Structures are given as C-alpha cells and as structure tokens.
C-alpha cells in the first residue's frame, strides 16, 4: 500500500459564521492561545508522516503565508533583547515539512477548493484537513486515518457520533461496523445536512478525510449541492456508493474554530494545558466560574 505523504488544507472559505472579524482575519489564523489554527493543522499532518502540505488560500488570506515565513524585523528585535534562542525555536517550528500554497479564485465550496489540489496530489493518496477543524488527540488524527487506509486499502472518512441536532449541520453516514472492529465501519452512502428523518446513522464526518485521486474525476461533474456550493460530501457519497469507503471513529477532542462557541471552547481546552500559562489560567477560570 502506498504511504500517505501528502496533505491538503482547504482554507479559502469566507467564514461567515465568524463575522465581522473574518472580513480581515482568516478564521484559519484565529489563535489557540498563541498559535494560529493552521499551524496546529500543519503540525498534525507532519507528525502523521505527511511532509508535503498544500494550503488552499484565497484573496485577503496572505497572513497564512506570512506566518510560515521568516520575519526579519521580529528576529532582529528578539536578538537585540538577548532572546535569540526564541528566534531559533520559531524558525524551527515554521520550517517543518514542505509547505505549498495555491489560491481558490472563486469561493464555490469545499469540493471546488479541493480541485485546486489536483496537480499537487498527482497519483497519490492524500489527507484533507478542514481548515477550521482542530483536533487534540494522543495519536494525530491523520495518522489514525493513514493506518486505517493502509489496513483496508480504501479511502477513509474521520467520524464521530453526534446528536440529532448536530447531524443537521453535518453529513450522516450509511455505515456498518466492520466485523471484529470497534471503531471502523464500511460506508456505502452519505447525506449532507439531512432533513429530520432523512439521516442514515448518528455518525458524521468531522474535519478529516483521506482520499485517493479518483475523487477529482467525480468532482469534475459534481453539481452544486447544499447552499449552492460544490460539496465534497456529494462527491464522496458517489465514491462510497460505487466502491465503499472506511469510516473511522477517531480518538480525539475536536473543535470547530469557524463557530464562536467552538473557538472559545478550544481556547479554554488548550489554555488550561498550556505549559506556560495553563496552571494560572485554570485558577483564573475557577475563580471566574464562582461569579457566574
């Protein structure tokens, strides 16, 4: 089985749930304590063995590219203050892996954004990390998906069990547990944002999939779906109906940085675990909660 070396991060969306700030700060650059969401995603890909990473950006999203570049002004200022070792640390962190950028010129949906990755992907399997979905886990989620891909030899969708209300916003799987497994399913269909009664199961895709290049041929003829956008899930549904996919209920805590509550919760979760400020922050929250 081919090793998974490539990852794609679609990060060109408008982020209308996070207006007004998303007009000038890409949601993929929202901070979790002191690092932007996109740096967590790149680290996850690299720690999963995917050292070639393509970030799909768009107009007014240059901040993402800047983040992964050196910043001579800051470097000089830190060095002058005797903090040169911090410069080394930052340079090391932003220089991991090979990071590429391309622009989605029209915001026509996640499926359309992915078509911009076709020549980068070539004929290899690749992971997709949705740009506003952050997962904290023991084993990086992309690694969990890659292990499943290597075991079963077919594309994998990252799943979680969700409530009926949450299902309306996600994509419901038609899925059956693989005999002998506790968390892997065979997926034979899926439906995006199902109306009540139309859902298959309570299993929904949350932020990570691992695909093969056949998806690009399907995306070429995928018509606009929910919200008038070209939906990646419509293309994956067609693939699942034809060939079947694996559904993996992954280990990890997932946050949607593209929603206000998700953004706040992610910062609470990571804040209390932060090596520098975690303890003080936890104390602060306890005191704050007393007054609620």
Residues that bind ligand UTP (CB under 6 A): 10-17, 28, 56, 104, 107-110, 112-113, 130-132, 258
Q: Which residue has the tokens 């910062």?
A: 267
Q: Which residue has the tokens 């590219």?
A: 65
Q: Which CB atom, from 26 or from 140, has the smaller least distance to ligand UTP?
A: 26
Q: Which CB atom, from 188 or from 233, has the smaller least distance to ligand UTP?
A: 233
Cis peptide before 20 (omega within 30 of 0): yes
Q: Which CB atom, from 56 or from 167, has the smaller least distance to ligand UTP?
A: 56
By Cβ distance, which residue is nearest to ligand UTP? Answer: 13
Output the smallest distance, CB 134 to ligand UTP, in A: 11
Output the smallest distance, CB 171 to ligand UTP, in A: 11
Which residue, 232, 92, 210, 90, is CA-closest to 140? 210
Q: Which CB atom, from 102 or from 181, has the smaller least distance to ligand UTP?
A: 102
Residue 52 β-bridge partners:
6, 98
Q: What are phi and psi of 244, to 5 degrees?
A: 85, 150
Output the smallest distance, CB 26 to ligand UTP, in A: 8
Output the smallest distance, CB 6 to ligand UTP, in A: 17
Residue 161 β-bridge partners:
203
Q: What is the DSSP string of 185-251?
A: EEEEEEEESPPTT----SEEEEEEEEE-THHHHHHHTPPP-GGGS--HHHHHHHHHHHH-EEEEE--
Q: Which CB atom, from 257 or from 270, has the smaller least distance to ligand UTP?
A: 257
Q: Which CB atom, from 12 or from 209, has the smaller least distance to ligand UTP?
A: 12
Output the smallest distance, CB 161 to ligand UTP, in A: 20
Output the smallest distance, CB 56 to ligand UTP, in A: 5
Output the smallest distance, CB 228 to ligand UTP, in A: 11
- First vs last C-alpha separation in the chain: 54
Q: Which CB atom, from 55 or from 240, has the smaller least distance to ligand UTP?
A: 55
DSSP 178: P
Distance (Å) of CA 235 to CA 129, 189, 282: 17, 11, 44
| Inter-axis angle of helices 278-290 and 260-271, nearest 10 | 120
């Amino acid at each position: 089985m081919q090793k998974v070396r490539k990852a794609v991060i679609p990060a060109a969306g408008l982020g209308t749930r996070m207006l007004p700030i998303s007009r000038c700060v890409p949601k993929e650059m929202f901070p979790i304590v002191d690092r932007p969401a996109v740096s967590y995603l790149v680290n996850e890909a690299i720690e999963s063995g995917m050292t070639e990473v393509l970030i799909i950006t768009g107009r007014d999203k240059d901040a993402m590219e800047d983040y992964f570049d050196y910043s001579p002004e800051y470097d000089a200022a830190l060095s002058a203050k005797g903090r040169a070792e911090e410069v080394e640390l930052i340079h090391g962190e932003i220089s991991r892996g090979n990071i590429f950028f391309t622009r989605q010129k029209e915001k026509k949906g996640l499926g359309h954004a992915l078509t911009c990755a076709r020549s980068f992907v070539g004929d290899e399997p690749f992971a997709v990390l949705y740009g506003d979905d952050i997962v904290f886990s023991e084993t990086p989620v992309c690694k969990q998906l890659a292990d499943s891909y290597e075991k079963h030899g077919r594309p994998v969708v990252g799943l979680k069990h969700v409530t009926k209300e949450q299902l309306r916003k996600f994509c419901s799987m038609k899925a059956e547990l693989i005999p002998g497994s506790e968390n892997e399913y065979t997926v034979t269909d899926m439906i995006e944002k199902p109306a009540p009664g139309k859902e298959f199961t309570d299993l929904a895709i949350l932020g990570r999939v691992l695909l093969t290049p056949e998806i690009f041929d399907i995306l070429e003829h995928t018509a606009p779906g929910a919200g008038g956008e070209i939906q990646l899930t419509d293309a994956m549904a067609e693939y699942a109906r034809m060939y079947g996919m694996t559904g993996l209920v992954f280990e990890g805590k997932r946050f949607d940085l593209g929603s206000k509550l998700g953004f706040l919760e992610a910062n609470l979760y990571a804040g209390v675990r932060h090596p520098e400020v975690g303890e003080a922050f936890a104390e602060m929250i306890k005191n704050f909660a007393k007054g609620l």
